[in-house]
Amino acid sequence: MIPGSYYHIYNHANGNENLFLEERNYFFFLDKISIHILPVANLHAYCLMPNHFHLLISIKEINEIKLLESFTAFQKLPDDKLHPVIEKKISKFFSNLFSSYTQSLNKVYNRMGSLFIPNMKSDLIEDENGLCKVVHYIHANPVPHGFVKEMGNWKFSSYNSYLSQAATKLSKKEILDVFGSKEYFIKYHQQPIELKYKWDL
């Protein structure tokens, strides 16, 4: 993953299993994201569903990443040599997220084995139009799946955080700047949901 770029990240539970068995699991997974992902990426949007999740992240700029303890051994590398190192290691951050969450779930619920599909999906978002579509798709995800009739009624997404002034670990400003205003953000989210998008799991 390229520093400074936006990505739609999504993954699914193995087989017919669920990733989240009760409400506290959703919040625990968000805590794990804070620990494992926020050091290298900004979180802009998310939706956690019982058996899958969607995230919108942007990889931090290379100068920020170089300061992390995990990258101190590579600080003297020129940026063009550092990029491949960063891309490889960022995948490891996600592996650590999935592994840590799985180990905790296995211990609490007395289960064994892997929980996530091995290869998560990561789609580069190339322009502002694509960014708006991804944000809308992520927030609307519970509606076509039949969990709620309105996206604002689903507790485990970032949609309501965008409407609130409460403190959050989300990086909202960049997204609201793309939409132009909170009012247009809301209006855009009132559009019909694109059910045949490429991100269906």
Digit-coded pLDDT (tens) for 20-59: 999 999 999 999 999 999 999 999 999 999 999 999 999 9
d(CA 59, CA 178): 17
Residue 101 inside a domain? The answer is: yes
Residue 31 inside a domain? The answer is: yes
Residue 130 inside a domain? The answer is: yes
Residue 198 has pLDDT above 60, yes or no: no
Q: Can you give the pLDDT at residue 22?
A: 95
Q: Can you give the pLDDT at residue 195?
A: 58
Residue 197 inside a domain? The answer is: no
Considering only CA atoms, which of 39, 34, 3, 57 is closest in space to residue 169? Answer: 34
pLDDT tens-digit series, residues 112-166? 999 999 889 999 999 999 999 999 999 999 998 899 999 999 999 999 999 998 8
The boundaries of the domain holding residue 104 are 6-189
Q: Can you give the pLDDT at residue 11?
A: 95
For 147, list phi and psi in degrees, rounded to 5: -85, -30
The structural domain count of the chain equals: 1
Residue 182 inside a domain? The answer is: yes
Fill in the amino acid letter for 43.
L
CATH code (residue 172)? 3.30.70.1290
CA distances from 201 to 153, 154, 167 (A): 22, 19, 31
Residue 170 inside a domain? The answer is: yes
Residue 198 inside a domain? The answer is: no
Residue 65 inside a domain? The answer is: yes
